Structure 1
Amino acid sequence: MGWGASGRNGGQVIPGLKYDPDQLIERYGQERGERLIDTSSRNADVVFELIQRHAIECDAQRHGWLQPAATQAGIQRIESRAAQWAARGVEVEWLTREACAERLGTAAYLAGWRDPRAGSLNPLAFVRGLARAASAAGAQLHEGSAVTGLARQAEGWRATTARGEVTAERVLLCTNGYTDTLQPGLARSLIAANSFQIATRPLSAEEGATILPRGEVASDARKLLFYFRRDAAGRLLFGGRGPFHDPRDPTDFRHLISGMTKLYPALKGVEIDYAWGGRVALTQDSMPHVHEPAPGLHVALGYNGRGVGMGTHLGSLIGRHLGTQALADALPLPLTPIAPIPLHGLQQLYVAAVIQYYRTQDWLER
């Protein structure tokens, strides 16, 4: 439980999706767009309500999300984003350069905004708390029993594992960045890109006094963004893109240490207690996908870096309606066919090309 992205993510609980409200309406139309806006706006609410309801001890904090920009082009993007959410009743806060420096502890950014709906948690503790709550409610949880075969039978679905078989009326696949070949074409509908993180040793009161002093989480407006927060022990957790392969040695994390010390020069040489990586499921349209490839078989995945909030909320909606005629109507996302990405076998080249393109865009904006 929690071995994959659900336990290794950045612990940032951010509402919304990759697209801003106006973009969602443009892409999906007024009715569907508004449903997506309303649902994604409540992502953080669902997470923190679950934590409270089941008394999950996971260092949950709800002090907001800061998105700073280092370029004028970045400022224009986040000004529009903040204005769109403000128009929908969110009490956003605009941050000048001076306010950004005070809230972040770095002078690297020109301006930013704060979304008060967001927060943070210890992701592994959160998923273990959900597992305990599910078990207490009567769910049977089985670890170390990967499904190696899935076949439709007269009585439902037969899932085959190395230890035996399970027959079920309904099956839900939620494998995200760790999707394999169990469902034909599914793995080829995603790009499983790596996101890497480092965590410093606990900072002293003096070292950490100015770094995110109000407890917000942060991710900047760059194309190749950095995301960072403090944990309960006072560490600075700092994340960003990783190479396509899983971590192999300390050199894989040098770009994060370099990025961290550019933002916080005083931390140069500080000990790194932990370094790790995990796969993020990226979709071609940057939206989560929900599929029903066969009766009784559903798929939900592809959160594009927003899985803590959107994955939890979507899972809650599916859980309430799975197996009912109301499922499609209850979901804000349409049920779509599985569509493999063309030339998916070249995904390493895709990712490398996109990273280079984004790096160039960030450089040009500077």
Structure 2
Amino acid sequence: MGSSADSIRNALWPATAREAAPVSDAFAPGRSVDVAIVGGGFTGASAALSAASQGASVALIEARTIGWGASGRNGGQVIPGLKLDPSEMRAAYGEDRGSRLVQAVGNGADDVFGLIETLGIDCEPQRSGWIQAAHAETALARVQKRCDEWAGLGAPAERLDRAAVSRLTGTDAYLGGWIDRRAGTIQPLSYVRGLAKAAQRLGATLHEGTTATGLARKGNRWEVATSAGPISAGRVIVGQDGYADGLVPGLAKSLICVQSALLATEPLPEALRARIVPGGICSSETRRLAFYFRQSADGRLVFGGRGAVGDTENPAFFSALTTAMHRTFPETKALAIAHRWSGQVAMTLDGLPHIHEPEPGLHIGIGYNGRGIAMATLMGRWLADRALVGTEPPLPITPLTPILWHSLKGPAVQLGITWAWIRDRLGFAG
């Protein structure tokens, strides 16, 4: 059995990225910057771009390479919104703040595709919509209510019956659902590389292969200890998400990380390209342990799911994923699987992203729960604005609270997965 972390070498995205990797800048120990950013994924690159565009001096520190973590491993689906419906956001946060949050996250895909166009990022963007396909009648009622809420706010969303889902996805596995035409697909590694290089052009420095090993307050500034030496910063932004370590005490223990695994077939024959999620459409299920799928720009079926715990790749998980793909799209049984890989997805107990400020000048955004492209892009900008000018983000800032039973996370997550399977079989929506 291999390592999930090392599986990046088998992933589709490094093999097909059109955006070249950025060239790392020389690290100058003892340098002083306005903002130090830890983590070279969507959050960190977006924060670096936003801060540098405001004239701040920025150093982005990445232990591996830009996009090495979840940002270079995910399915490339750009989905607006959160796991909460608009009415639920307003109920949770109040009418004023909830409405601000609804507007912000509802525009998340607009922000991503707008950046791609403005910055000229070569990441194969297609904006044909996202289908949430219902696996049971109760789930269908839930997601079509979600559709009605977003459509009532002016979003280009519409209900889909069984025949429509079948026509648009190429599978008869679902009872119906809805389509959100704000959504789309990208090549995620190219996108994060493009963000990072755009930040670099504005003066941010990128330091790959540099591990942040400690944070310490020094008066009104921070000293960031790294494997290449210290750096001084007025503010620190941490965007490690599912790869959080011990840098910020308690941060990793506030998250439950599970593996998300993906398969990519050999290129589909032309007839299948025209039938299976054609034209840039992407889809995911209503199950809590949902499968998700799309075509890549070169015509492969990319099929993913989650459920394994820990870093070790479990061959049985990939076998189950392959079986699910063949069950959903029987025609793929004749196709070779050309790429398979996995990575950590950071889940929070409430299913929502979190913003923390455990100390003045230390800003953290985490917990995207499978909605990382649009949400992390937003989060990076929110954190940069908060760090530089004190802007209050639409999402409330909450205390950093470790999960009490985190030391038992392996058995606990397995119990949670079992419960999720039970809920899925009973037809509840995720």
Report TM bin, short chain: over 0.9
- Please say if 1:122 is aligned against 2:184: no
Following the alignment from structure 1 to structure 2, what is the Cα–Cα distance between the partners of residues 270 and 247? 26
After superposition, what is the alpha-carbon deviation per residue over 1:164-205, rounded to whole angstroms, capped at 9, x for unaligned? 110111100111000011111111111111111110011110
Following the alignment from structure 1 to structure 2, what is the Cα–Cα distance between the partners of residues 343 and 288? 20
Following the alignment from structure 1 to structure 2, what is the Cα–Cα distance between the partners of residues 217 and 252? 22
Map residues 200-349 of structure 1 onto 2, 5 A cutoff: 200-248=265-313, 250-325=315-390, 327-328=391-392, 331-349=393-411
| Number of matched pairs | 363
Residue type at the aligned position of 1:63? S
**TM-score with structure 1 length normalisation?**
0.96
Following the alignment from structure 2 to structure 1, what is the Cα–Cα distance between the partners of residues 389 and 198? 23
Following the alignment from structure 2 to structure 1, what is the Cα–Cα distance between the partners of residues 387 and 298? 40
Contact conserved, 2:171 with 2:328, CA < 8 A, in 1?
yes
Unmatched 5+ stretches in structure 2: 1-65
Higher RCO (CA 8 Å, separation ≥ 6 residues): 2
Following the alignment from structure 2 to structure 1, what is the Cα–Cα distance between the partners of residues 399 and 288? 29
Following the alignment from structure 1 to structure 2, what is the Cα–Cα distance between the partners of residues 316 and 40? 13
Equivalence for 1:135:
200
- Alpha carbons of structure 1 residues 248 and 317: separation in structure 2 relative to 1, 3 Å: closer
Residue type at the aligned position of 2:421? R
**TM-score with structure 2 length normalisation?**
0.82
Following the alignment from structure 2 to structure 1, what is the Cα–Cα distance between the partners of residues 73 and 143? 27
- Deviation of the 1:20 alpha carbon: 0.7
Contact conserved, 1:290 with 1:300, CA < 8 A, in 2?
yes
Unmatched 5+ stretches in structure 1: none
Contact conserved, 2:130 with 2:184, CA < 8 A, in 1?
yes
Select 1:88's aligned residue among 153, 161, 173.
Answer: 153
Residue type at the aligned position of 1:158? E
Following the alignment from structure 2 to structure 1, what is the Cα–Cα distance between the partners of residues 262 and 228? 35
After superposition, what is the alpha-carbon deviation per residue over 1:96-149, rounded to whole angstroms, capped at 9, x for unaligned? 111111101011111111101001101101111111101111000101111111
Following the alignment from structure 1 to structure 2, what is the Cα–Cα distance between the partners of residues 308 and 343? 29
Structure 1 SS opposite 2:207: coil
- Deviation of the 1:320 alpha carbon: 3.4
Following the alignment from structure 2 to structure 1, what is the Cα–Cα distance between the partners of residues 349 and 219? 35
Structure 1 SS opposite 2:368: coil
Following the alignment from structure 1 to structure 2, what is the Cα–Cα distance between the partners of residues 302 and 364? 27
Identity %: 46
Following the alignment from structure 1 to structure 2, what is the Cα–Cα distance between the partners of residues 176 and 80? 31
Residue type at the aligned position of 1:356? T
Following the alignment from structure 2 to structure 1, what is the Cα–Cα distance between the partners of residues 338 and 314? 14
